[in-house]
A and B are shown apart, each in its own frame.
Chain A
């Protein structure tokens, strides 16, 4: 396997010239970016600009048409990579929760622990319970997803991803499907994670969260990173006129 030297500057993920085509549709047009450990990278931009696609390229849920994703010094776009193993180290949370409806909150968290990490029942159960507590849902361990509110389902989804003890967490508009009064509990959970030092990439429309929790902000438009920097800085003094126009619409 093509191994690259681990970066001593703390780079966890390096995106090198990522392009993505869906058929003739050019969605990502050359993305180069480094994500450092313990960074909370917030990605904003207009609908259809390629934010989700970029996020899904990081754990190769979408295979980049061109370019490399270097995770922990390993080129995971290399075809010889064991993606299943890599994915245990990259958690992702989706807008639609995607919990397994036929399994309880607890079983949702335990499934991959048992089948992928080969944990025995007791060990998996203990780990799952720890993570459910982490998101404040230990009392809902035996509930099925349909018996939980949207906010609770999303927190279970976060616990399920965390149970794998990933080095990186990806969030794709995880509060967009939630009723307004449920958004806060999920954002609070994410904020706590950030405080604990988790490396996160967060696609969001929540500008308050981006400003307060984000340590780095990417503004994407038309498949490119148009502007980036310290969130407050970008919010207060956007340089590119597309950023200015986008922010004037959402703020």
Chain B
């Protein structure tokens, strides 16, 4: 008999088999969270679609009036929050969560396999999350739901501002990308300068870096715009001033990132380069910086995420309509409608860009940590 045992393609799974009890606790935990979060969503949707055709007594008493834009929609949100349907949903979800917590944490230590124990623990943890979310929602609706909903959740006031948001997004991204690219170039130059053995070279570079790291960004913007720009009669627009100041500011931070990156390269590398006859700058350019660049990618991407959010500070400068960034558009909506829902839209806009970036940073960091640094050629 020919015995050909094939090599297993994957390592064996030693976590052991599942069992009905811990698996059902796990399912209970998931169910609890789904009931609380999904229930809230479902009740809101139901009211949005089938809500009363006019403002309810409660809405009128709490300050909503017929002739406000979107007041009916807001009223539906409010009524959904107050509804007994939501009460039932939240209580059921929290009760299921409580069962999962009690069951999960009482049996997990007695489970015979790792997988069963993890299922029991996960069920308990999800149960806690469902309970916490339920408590927060009860707490929220005990407050002034109408005022909050009217100010922050009145989507109807955003109508007609689509183009403004588009312009805003364009300006925000332009400032962030421009500032980052400019800052990286400046940062690289100043990093090399701060590494000079000559104090006369180092000192001005350090002065620049320390000044821009040591003063508030909004101070830099305001001073440059009103002081330098208007004071000297440069006639630069808000976007141009923003680009310059964000570049200078990011340059200072990037310089420190690059300096740390360059200093993290082993001394032997520059010695090897210099002993082959390369000048200091050649050694930096061809041997050291290419290695340092890989190490500084994650911190530079973090700087970029920070810059995207910080571009909002140009709201402090004078702006024409076309010069507004996302945040300025939201503020403009606020001042013309006295409604803050635009800020919620702005937050969504920032998150659409920053969340994928944050994920990407984490991925790159994981990759660099796994020891693949410097293997792949450029």
Contacts and interface: CB of A to CB of B under 8 A. Distances in A.
Interface string A103-121: 1100100011001110000
Interface residues of A, number: 31
Interface of B: 266, 268-269, 271-279, 282, 286-287, 290-291, 294, 374-375, 377-378
Contacts of A92: 275
A102 B277 contact: no
Contacts of B290: 102
Contacts of A161: 276
A99 B277 CA distance: 15
A91 B269 CA distance: 15
Contact of B282 (A61, A90, A116): A116
A116 B277 contact: yes
Interface of A: 59, 61, 84-85, 87-88, 90-92, 94, 96, 98-104, 107, 111-112, 115-117, 144, 146-147, 157, 160-161, 164
Contacts of A91: 275
Contact of A103 (B271, B282, B377): B377
Contacts of A59: 275
A164 B276 contact: yes
Given A100-B269, A115-B282, A85 B277 contact: yes
Nearest to B271: A61
B261 to A, nearest CB: 13
Nearest to A59: B275
Given A94-B271, A111-B286, A160 B276 contact: yes
B281 to A, nearest CB: 10
B278 A101 contact: no
A111 B378 CA distance: 14
30 contacts: A59-B275, A84-B277, A84-B279, A87-B274, A87-B277, A91-B275, A96-B266, A96-B268, A98-B268, A99-B272, A100-B272, A100-B273, A100-B291, A101-B291, A102-B290, A102-B374, A104-B377, A111-B276, A111-B287, A112-B273, A112-B276, A112-B278, A115-B278, A115-B286, A116-B276, A144-B377, A146-B375, A157-B272, A160-B276, A164-B277
A98 B272 contact: yes
A92 to B, nearest CB: 5
